[in-house]
Amino acid sequence: MWKPMLTTYRDEPPIGDQWRYEVKYDGFRCGLEWKTSGVTLWSRNGKKLNDQFPEIIQACEENQATFKDNLPFMLDCELVIPVTELRTNFSELQTRGRMKSKTAISKKAAERPASLYVFDVLKQNGKSLKKKSYQERRKQLENLFAKNPIKELKLVDQYKDLSSIKGDVFLHQAEGLLAKNVNSTYQENTRTKQWLKIKNWRQIQGIVTGWNQENDYYDLSVYNEEELVPLGKVKNGFPDEDRETLNQFIRENGQKLNRSTWQIPAGVCIEVNCLNARNGEIREPMFHRFRFDLNPEECTLDRIQKQLAQLPEDIDYSNLDKILFKNALKIDLLIHLRKVAPVMLPHLYNKKLTVIRFPDGIYEESFYQKHVPDYAPEYFQGNEHLVCNDLRSLIWLGNHAALEYHVPFNRLDEENPREMVFDIDPPNQSKFPVAVKAAQLIKELCDYKELVSIAKTSGRKGLQIHIPTDGTWAYDETREFMETVAKVLVQKYPDLFTIERMKKNRGERVYIDFLQHAEGKTIIAPYSPRGQGNATVATPLFWEEVNEDLDPNDYTVFNVAERLRKKGCPFRYYQP
């Protein structure tokens, strides 16, 4: 039976030519055993996971012919539910792992499918590769996946440059990274220093408010306005001297509630390394240090949210409590942009960006900006035109109250558009159900033509339909297709839809705008906020959500990042 090779924790990654790096994904360590007779997904404890994750098994079985010349083989993998390319949803995976009902499992597999991220091959054509070096096995793995058609199986990227992987891990807020010695053999069931794990810690501060003397867990709390609320528990990471100092303080100043439980008045603040904190639980908490410089009142829920967001440190933030929307502050905008950056930035990459800035909020003067201002930092890309290719640039723009991000359909170095986008514009909110009908009809026509289509709210009162083309269509070709589709809708439903440009001539009909898709024109980028009172966001949708219950006002800077965590991104398989 497969017994995985285990990693050793280190605070900092090693450097040298003998090391290669991989992203550490937050999932279940699994072995995929693939024989001519079938596929088995093994947990690290020897449990079969076929029933809990049928989408993985089905995908493999459907592609048996592709890999038949390499069978049997054994792969070392991480089973994950992706949020972004590098970040995963571990709690959702745990829920899947506990499920027993086949009906419930099938429903979840369709709604939120798992993926298998492959990083090693231990056997191929029935021959063991464990005594080969990591780099030799990696080459065989790359050859094995050279023509991989299975979107549920992803070959984990290997990095040679440490700074590159650190940047990617930080952008995506991934769990961490792995450092692997290129000469290491595969040592089953052994915790080795040839494979090292380095965590992407978030540092948060909380107030010690309780202690369980029996299990040595400390309760941490923070203030939510004037009320103390639970943050979570911490036990590990305390040096003996610090632990004894804290215990002595508790015995002298705390109140013993029963045989093992103590309650402590708010007074001692500590800093904790963790992967996340939500709903009264801290993920993998490790004591870092006492924070005697903090007053307990400074340890707030708002402060925790900022710390968990991991905003870039080399930006001179200003007026974070400035009201930009009816009920949202600048810090709310920045946290939204930070959390959606991994899925928003690909839509901005190497495109002439136009932002709309609202320096004093949406109820005051705004202006368009297309050029890099003279006071922009050196890392900002673009010369004549504004270009936003990285996290720091995006957050810098947000810090300067750029609320809306509009992009063209082609990149700077390309002539052809990368996508077609229909803009469906109802005359008012009451006609939004008609816009939904238009979107559904456009999807039907795209399905007939075997074209992928992805819907998104415009962030205002309409919908937009993105159709990826990978730059294979010229603008005149996309224009011809889009005009044909729009005219088909108008001819079939003349009382519902129109392509009339003059608003006064549209009446109550929904406008199907294909003219906006042209060279030099722009569209609101996915995940961009809009300069609206309730801080709405242009939000990508799954097609099952495009129905009579859809309300574009439901998607705001306060909830879109959490929606992304729970549901994933509809653009997941399609690069803009």
Catalytic positions = 24
CA 242 – CA 238 distance, rounded (Å): 6
Type of residue found at 258: N
Tokens read off for 323:
């009201």
CA 418 – CA 576 distance, rounded (Å): 6
**Ramachandran category for residue 237: left, alpha or beta (phi over 0 → left; psi -120 to 50 → alpha):** left
CA 333 – CA 319 distance, rounded (Å): 12
Radius of gyration of the chain (CA): 26
| Counts for the chain of helices (H) and strands (E), in that order | 13, 29
CA 353 – CA 26 distance, rounded (Å): 34
CA 510 – CA 494 distance, rounded (Å): 10
Query: Are the CB atoms for 192 and 5 separated by under 8 Å?
Result: yes
CA 52 – CA 48 distance, rounded (Å): 9
**3-state secondary structure labels for all residues of 329-393:** EHHHHHHHHHHHHHHHHHHHCCCCCEEEECCCCCCCCCEEECCCCCCCCCCCCCCCCCCCCCHHH
Residue where the block lists tokens 């100092």: 245
Tokens read off for 113:
């499918």
Q: Which residues contact 58 (CB under 8 A, 6 or more apart)?
A: none
User: Exposed, middle or buried by CB within 10 Å (0-12, 13-18, 19+), for 162?
Assistant: middle
Measure CA of the first residue to CA of the last residue in the chain; give whole Å.
42
Helical spans, DSSP H, in 100-229: 102-111, 134-144, 162-172
From 362, 433, 425, 369, select the one nearest 396 (Cα to Cα). 369
Q: Which residues contact 282 (CB under 8 A, 6 or more apart)?
A: 204, 220, 231, 232, 233, 234, 272, 274, 276
Displacement of CA 475 from its chain's centroid (Å): 31
Peptide bond into 72 cis (omega under 30): yes
CA 563 – CA 291 distance, rounded (Å): 34
